Amino acid sequence: METADTVIVGGGVIGCATAYYLAGRGLRVVLCERRALAAEASGANAGMVGASGGLPGRTLLHTRKSIELLAQAEEELGQPIEFVRGGRFMLAHSPAQWTAVQDFAATRRREGIDVELLSGPDARRLEPLLGPSVVGAAHAPGDGHVNPFLLTHAYAAAAKRHGAEIRTGVTVTALDMSGGRVSGVRTQTGGIAAATVVLAAGAWSAELMARLGVSLPVRPGRGQMLVTDVLPPLSRRVLRAPALGIRQDVRGHLLIGSTVEDVGFDRGVTLPTLARFCQVAAGIMPVLRTARILRAWSGFRPMTPDSLAIIDTVPGATGLVLATGHSRSGVSYGPVTGWLVAQLVADGKTQLPLTPFRLDRFAAPAAISAAAGSRTGSVTDGHTHH
């Protein structure tokens, strides 16, 4: 049986970023992706990133580190990723939304993230194409957007240059366990023995864990999106209203979305939802009315109950690291997740606390039963808690 230091399950942005950082630490990494890199949620999103998107009091530290790492990645990876740091507007179109936007600005500023409040007229001075119904906006100048396909592939290519093997079309069918330790993975083409397995399979992570008797609280959340034909440059900013996000890519296409729907793995798109996107988008930016839609699609976000990722070891399964459940923010947290998981695996501790991402924060304890593997002597809990 072939061996590796670490097997990574999943070739999305999380898996590929982890492969990059781990291979950079000199570990022998094999990444197994059942379809293709960025074939799922990592290839279905609008690429919005930024420090302001974290959860106040919990993960703003992480989102800020993540965008710093992303800015560095552009240079380090040596391939274009189309990272545009043009800022984000959180738009308010009603008094209630304006209150929420003020709170957004205050909570971020309190933790050192630059967010300013703009009145409607001031917002439109900076973004002249905003519709007349805008009441105000919170402006986070440090946020931005990136091409998630290019980012995922760039991480993978750089990981390969550091000796990692990136295998697509390889389905991991099971995680191998022996005496409370993970011993590798099984695929349709044979097994790979490894001391560490990182599970970064997004909405499909729960399936693999279920086979170990662990109930992982990650469910598919379908998100619909549409893309328009190329338009002249309208804005470099990410525009977010509570129900909709809009951003323009470097070629001029606009990405508009999204939803979170509990429909299992149904890949369809629905007309009323897409029509509502168009109605709301036209209110946000009236010139978009005549933009032509080229494509609509859906993707499955790995949703957790609190929309925060699960980055943790698993009691009773030494050597298994979960890096999944990134809900709606996988691209934003991708860089810092890879960076932290590499530390967890290589050093046994992380430079930022993983407290917000612990598996045991969920009500129902999720651990390998005593029958399946030893739970007691797990010396390697893995990381220190700050």
Partner 1 sequence: MAERSRSVIVCRCENVTIGEIADVLEVGARTFDEIKRVTRAGMGICQGRTCECVVTDLLVEDGRVAPEEIVSRSVRPPVRPITLEVLAASEPDAPRLPDEA
List binders of partner 1 among 151-190 (CB under 8 A).
153, 157, 166, 168-169
Q: Considering the rule CB under 8 A, would residue 275 count as an interface residue with partner 1?
A: yes
Q: Which of 110, 161, 211, 289 binds partner 1 (CB under 8 A)?
A: 289
Backbone angles phi, psi at 111, to 5 degrees: -105, 20
169 C-beta neighbours (distance < 10 Å), count:
11
What's the half-sphere exposure (Cβ side, CA atoms, 13 Å) at 23? 23
- The full length of the chain comes to 386
**Interface region with partner 1, contact rule CB under 8 A, candidates 197-205, 209-217, 294-302, 311-319:** 294-302
Point out which span in 81-89, 112-120, 145-153, 366-374 binds partner 1 (CB under 8 A). 145-153
Q: Taking CB under 8 A as the rule, does residue 232 contact partner 1? A: no
Sign of the Cα pseudo-torsion (137, 138, 141, 144, in order) = negative
Based on the shown chain and the rule CB under 8 A, indicate whether residue 250 belongs to the binding site for partner 1. Answer: no
Alpha carbon distance 110, 125 (integer Å):
26
In the complex, the smallest distance separating the C-beta of residue 385 from partner 1, rounded to whole angstroms, is 33
E strand or H helix at 8: strand 2-9
Q: Does 327 bind partner 1 (CB under 8 A)?
A: no
Q: Report strand pairing: 238-240 vs 219-228.
A: unpaired
The Cα 233–Cα 358 span in angstroms is 42
Q: Are 188 and 35 in contact (CB under 8 A)?
A: no
CB of 288 to partner 1, least distance (A): 5
Q: How far is the CB of 134 from partner 1 (least distance, A)?
A: 14
Residue type, 42: S
From the list 128, 290, 363, 376, which residue makes contact with partner 1 (rule: CB under 8 A)? 290
Residues in contact with partner 1, total (CB under 8 A)? 47
Query: What is the binding site for partner 1 (CB under 8 A)?
Result: 36-39, 43, 93-94, 96-97, 149-150, 153, 157, 166, 168-169, 228-229, 242-244, 253, 259-260, 269, 271-282, 288-297
